[in-house]
Amino acid sequence: MALLGKAILGVWNEVAPSDEADFAGWYVREHLPERTSVPGMPRGRKYRAIENASPANMALYEAADLDVLTSGAYRTQLDNPTAWTARITARFTFMRRAICSVIADAGAGVGGFATVYHFHPAPDADARVRVWAEKIVSELVEMPQIVAAHCWVGAAGEPETPTSRLSAAAVAEKPVGWVLAIEAAGVAALKAAQARLNLVDIAATGIADWQPYPLYALSYVLTAG
């Protein structure tokens, strides 16, 4: 398994160019250290889109299970945002996030480049899509320089917090459903994986909504301890 747990928090956001330096400093100096101090949240990563694509930023936080993300120290952090967090989140121009259960995970390590696909199954197609997701994850990691692939499903019912209210004006209208993530050792390998997925008859898999996201370069990873 590539991930350090059975749950993941995925975040995609943007700020104005004038706020980029403050945003980057916040992630490295405060936000990732704060989040990885939570028991059961062993690793956090920040990515930046290449080729000036949008959404410009992606962050992934791995957790032992959904309980870590729905109770305890993490929720306390969300209920009590720092001054720096309050300043940054209020400046988000785009925000999409979800706590998710990991349903498929293959490979080892962390790739220097990554991309994700957001999607939703058609009505009554969840079981069929899950079978496809498990199969494609296992196939992708057999491709050259694809170091990991995983699929997650968004968990419903996360309570609102002071932190989420700060960025509410920038939240995307469509909630996160399912996410397919691919990690690679190089951009060319990631593009080859994209080409492989472009050959898939998405409708035939039971997927009704398929949204490719940008290619991202890993800018920072922090492991607890």
What is the rounded distance in angstroms from the CA atom of residue 75 to the CA atom of residue 84? Answer: 17
pLDDT value at position 167?
60
Sign of CA dihedral 52, 208, 137, 13: positive
CB pairs under 8 A, 24+ apart, for 219-223?
Answer: 219/24, 219/46, 219/47, 219/48, 220/27, 220/28, 220/32, 220/45, 220/46, 221/43, 221/44, 221/45, 221/46, 221/110, 222/32, 222/33, 222/36, 222/43, 222/44, 222/45, 223/36, 223/42, 223/43
Domain range summary for the chain, segments of one domain joined by +: 7-220
The rounded average pLDDT for each run of 10 residues, N- to C-terminus, in the chain (225 residues) is: 93 96 96 97 97 94 96 93 95 92 97 97 95 98 98 84 67 82 98 96 93 97 90
What is the rounded distance in angstroms from the CA atom of residue 172 to the CA atom of residue 168? Answer: 9
What is the rounded distance in angstroms from the CA atom of residue 74 to the CA atom of residue 87? Answer: 19
Structure-token pair, residue 94: 């785009």
pLDDT value at position 172?
66
pLDDT value at position 158?
73
What is the rounded distance in angstroms from the CA atom of residue 116 to the CA atom of residue 151? Answer: 9
pLDDT value at position 84?
97
pLDDT value at position 168?
62
Structure-token pair, residue 165: 């209210």
Phi, psi values for residue 150, rounded to 5°: -155, 160
Contact 76, 39 (CB under 8 A): no
Q: Match domain 7-220 to its CATH number in 3.90.1150.10, 3.10.50.40, 3.30.70.100, 3.40.50.300.
A: 3.30.70.100
Contact 68, 38 (CB under 8 A): yes
pLDDT value at position 225?
73
pLDDT value at position 52?
87
**Total-model pTM:** 0.94
